[in-house]
Structure 1
Amino acid sequence: MNPYSNNAIPVESASPAAAPATAGAKGYAWVVFSLMFCLLLSDYMSRQALNALFPLLKAQWQITDTQLGSISSVVPLMVGVLTLPFSIIADRWGRVRSIALMVAVWSAATAGCAIASSYHEMFIARFFVGVGEAAYGSVGFAMLLSIFPRHMRSTVAGGFTSAAAFGSVLGVSLSGLIATHFGWRWSMGVMAIIGFVLVIIYCAVVTEEKLASVQPSNANATPKDGRVKLTPRAFVSGLFPSRSVFCAYLGSALQLFVQGTLFVWLPSYLHRYWDMPVEKAAVLAAGLLLVSGLGQLLCGVMTDRVSGDSVLKRWNMAIFYCLALGTLLAVAFRLPHGNLQLAFLAPGVFFLASTFGTCNPIIAEGTPPAIHGSVFATLTLFNNILGLAAGPLITGMVADAVGLEVALRWLPLAAVPPFAVFVIGRWCHVAEKATRDIAGK
């Protein structure tokens, strides 16, 4: 029996065949993808630019690593807390208008960071950066799923979410360079200007009507105006339809604990222990984040190529990626500083964000398309609370106690929990599929 049959939630067809799409529709879909990618770039530029400024803020305001970690972690914390309610609102109010408002808010808050005169003012400004960014990733990804066919999900997921790493690269590197020549306030001001310019372009190009006109037959079927009505019971059962989907939520978040930590603390690690000036540390950290972004993109493409329509193979890829991440980082952080350490660190960070190309499609396949905005908001909640917010803050607290180098040396152990969860999720998927096959006979 279909658990959603009485709850007015459309469930996507199991057929993988896509209806023919015109060249114009395909072109517009990629234009929208490009804009959404650039907006996520701006999101993470605003979020991560501050990390390159940690040495300057620590010296100017005389604050601890825990406080530095808090002004970084407050952004993903607010994203995690607010993403679900904001995404529910976006599913009802309209995704296009909601995204425009989000970008305007986080850009204004980033401008507020540029004029902050103390730790407490910076914390408040960063709080509102998180409010603005809260639902963008989930709502934006749900929008893209609605205009691309199912067989491209890992590619779209890996490509879109790789903007987080590339945005971190641009944010950290540009921030360090601008701060060196013009002062740290200009670093944040430039990030705000970029956001304002992009939201103007977005508003001129993207509308609900145009999106509805290019939806392929096997993408996420959503109402023409982008809004959806559903019962509370259908909503909850749609978010958590199975144990395997819950494992995908949890495993993704636990793996991002490692990503969140390295994105925030790499510039400070290179500055303190490689004796690099702020500018050079920011550039090298940005280079490593670039490797992470390439890995995020390529892992998505590889997962599509290897897995095809097989969800089981996506679980296999998630397990492999997580094992590679933990092993390479464990070796890297126990080597002396220098090129040999970099030789293991670079391939390690390649797998930092591989979870987006595996867990996102698994979750998309197992949940109703009409609430994918809220589904990916739930994933964002898990990712931010358990991963991106927890990682930098906990690492900062450990660094205050035993030093940042020791804290990062033990970081690879954080890859063990997601590895275990992925193994359990794969087992649950196999059991659930067997149960469905028996019920269908």
Structure 2
Amino acid sequence: MAETLSGTAVPSTTVIQAPPLRRMLALVILMAIGSINYVDRQLLSLLIEPIRQDIPLSDTAFGLLTGLCFALFYASMGVPVAMMADRINRVRLVAVACTMWSVCTGFCGFAQNFWQLALARFGVGIGEAGGTAPSLSILSDYFTPEQRPAVIGLYTVNGPIGVFIGISLGGFIAAHYGWRMAFFAVAFLGVALAPILWLLVREPMRGATEKSTAQQVSEPAPSLISTIRIFLKLPTLRFLLPASGLLAFVSYGLLNWIPAYLMREADMQLSELSLWFGPAAGICMGLGIWSGGAIVNIGAKKSLTAYAWAPAASVIIGIPFLIAAMFMPGWQLSLALLLVPMVCIVMYVAPALALTQNLAPLRARATATALLLLSFNLVGIGGGPLMIGIFSDMFTAMGAEHSLRWALLSTIPISLVAMALYIMMARTITQDHATRAAETPA
């Protein structure tokens, strides 16, 4: 199989993998880029309370800035950028996108009002649309289908790493040098990483890690409408979109508001947040994302229903600990109990991404992933933080004490609906994999 300049390949009936060092280098650098992606996305959530002292804004306004203002542009650009990734050099696309979102993160540090922050967040959202979907497409051409759940689980640990860097480093910088300097520092990291990706990671051959026919590799990437039809055709993906979107709603909502809750209602200081919450959130979320992929990697060898039962079980495990955490005196007990939900709320990520990669056609993986991320982003990022902010302001207006506590607990019914959808999905996964295999020439 010979590689072309565009990353396409001459078809082969045997699996061809790049050398191990090249594969691991790609994985490590893409993880680093993804981590910066997450730092830039989440930093504003960490700094809600310090920014509020300088720019008076309501919880609804911060819900818009951390959620909808970012998600609308991130989601709207995600699909067209992913379609580009199915047609052009993906490595260079990710490098350019990293530069753009990092520069726009730096612009946040210059903001003086809501609209200036919103414009900067628009730019961050547009840039970050070129991050995850193209990166997953690259990794799918470096690693075989059997390796993907674990590899994607490892790649998506960039989220927890980003949370750790954002909260620990960003919190430290904000506490000592001001919140504006925190934005400038993380922007510099992204601008520095982009050329490293461009120079050191090679664009892999499309379809190199699985058997492919001449027709599969040489055919043009399908249109957006054709890719959407995949989700309409397969029941598994029809269940997966809303189920994972609702869990994204809960996970992004909690992640964006737990730092403010601990500082506002549990008397945690910013220096304590960076020292304790940063490592706790990073480790727990890393464990959750990695274990979600690893559990499915093991369970799917016996039954493909593991893709559904793992995230469904995580909901039941996490809810009691979240409830208990909201009623503990002091931030120490609250944070200790929040460790379990912070593991559970992200266990759906790797199984959802791997399942989409496995069921999508070879030439439409980035676009198919972008459609899944559209659900993550519009429903999750766009809705979760905003709903919690609106509910918090609403409970405050009603005279309720601890309004942010009740706003956070309002996510529980949404988790239960997502769990029900995953249970329904378990009944369709095996047949849909068989259908997809039958459509793939041997």
Give the TM interval when normalised to the shorter protein.
0.7 to 0.9
* Correspondence list, 1:236-385, <5 A: 236-290=228-282, 291-308=284-301, 310-385=303-378
Task: Give deviations 1:35-63, integer Å, cap 9, x for gaps.
Answer: 10000001011111122211121121111
Match of 1:7 in 2: none
Task: Give deviations 1:282-311, integer Å, cap 9, x for gaps.
Answer: 443323321112221122122212222742
Match of 2:6 in 1: none
Q: Distance in 2 between matches of 1:26 and 1:431?
A: 34
Instruction: Give, in angstroms, the shift of residue 205 of structure 1.
Output: 0.8
CA contact (8 A) 2:104 2:120 kept: yes
Q: Distance in 2 between matches of 1:316 and 1:140?
A: 27
Match of 1:6 in 2: none
Change (3 A) 1:214 1:328: same
Match of 2:147 in 1: 152
CA contact (8 A) 1:76 1:385 kept: yes
CA contact (8 A) 1:52 1:282 kept: no
Overall identity of the aligned pairs, in %: 23
Instruction: Give, in angstroms, the shift of residue 378 of structure 1.
Output: 0.4
Structure 2 unaligned segments of length 5 or more: list them: 1-8, 396-402
Structure number having the greater helix percentage: 1
* Correspondence list, 1:130-141, <5 A: 130-141=125-136
Instruction: Give, in angstroms, the shift of residue 26 of structure 1.
Output: 1.4
SS across alignment from 2:428: helix
Instruction: Give, in angstroms, the shift of residue 174 of structure 1.
Output: 1.4
CA contact (8 A) 2:86 2:366 kept: yes
Match of 1:190 in 2: 185
Alignment pair present for 1:111 and 2:106: yes
Change (3 A) 1:221 1:145: farther
Instruction: Give, in angstroms, the shift of residue 214 of structure 1.
Output: 10
CA contact (8 A) 2:321 2:338 kept: yes
CA contact (8 A) 2:267 2:330 kept: no
CA contact (8 A) 1:69 1:393 kept: yes
- The letter for the 2-side match of 1:104 is T
Task: Give deviations 1:110-145, integer Å, cap 9, x for gaps.
Answer: 111121222211110011000100131111111111
Change (3 A) 1:265 1:154: same
392-401 vs 296-305, which deviates more?
A: 296-305
Change (3 A) 1:35 1:220: farther
Match of 1:406 in 2: 406
Instruction: Give, in angstroms, the shift of residue 109 of structure 1.
Output: 0.5
- The letter for the 1-side match of 2:22 is Y
323-332 vs 297-306, which deviates more?
A: 323-332
Change (3 A) 1:423 1:184: same
CA contact (8 A) 1:83 1:381 kept: yes
Instruction: Give, in angstroms, the shift of residue 94 of structure 1.
Output: 2.5
Q: Distance in 1 between matches of 2:114 and 2:225?
A: 43
Change (3 A) 1:287 1:233: closer
Change (3 A) 1:41 1:123: same
CA contact (8 A) 1:176 1:282 kept: yes
Q: Distance in 2 between matches of 1:78 and 1:241?
A: 28
Instruction: Give, in angstroms, the shift of residue 90 of structure 1.
Output: 2.1
Residue number among 65, 68, 80 corresponding to 1:71 in the alignment: 65
Change (3 A) 1:233 1:170: closer
Match of 2:81 in 1: 86
CA RMSD of aligned residues (A): 3.1
SS across alignment from 2:42: helix
* Correspondence list, 1:412-423, <5 A: 412-423=412-423
- The letter for the 2-side match of 1:323 is I
Instruction: Give, in angstroms, the shift of residue 368 of structure 1.
Output: 0.9
